[in-house]
Amino acid sequence: DKRFAKAFAAHLLRFALARELTPADSLAIDRIVNRTEAENYRLKS
C-alpha cells in the first residue's frame, strides 16, 4: 500500500535526520516511495 510506504519512509527519514520533517521533505519522501514501488516496497539492508 502506497500510503503505508509513504508513512514508513517519512518515519525513517525523520529518524535519520533527527528532526521533524518540513513540507520541503515531501519531495524526498515521494522519490523514495517511487523508487521502491517497482520492487514492491522491499527493504534491503
Could you state, in order of their start, the residue ranges of all structural domains in the chain? 2-37
The CA-based dihedral angle spanning residues 6, 7, 11, 14, taken in that order and rounded to the nearest 10 degrees: 60
Neighbours of 28 (CB within 10 A): 14
What is the predicted pLDDT for the residue at 45? 81
State the pLDDT at residue 44.
83
pLDDT at res. 43: 85
**Rounded CA separation 14/4 (Å):** 15
pLDDT digits over 8-37, tens only? Answer: 999 999 999 999 999 999 999 999 999 999
CA distance 5 to 32: 9
| C-beta of residue 8 within 8 angstroms of C-beta of residue 42 | no
pLDDT interval class at 40 (50, 70, 90): very high
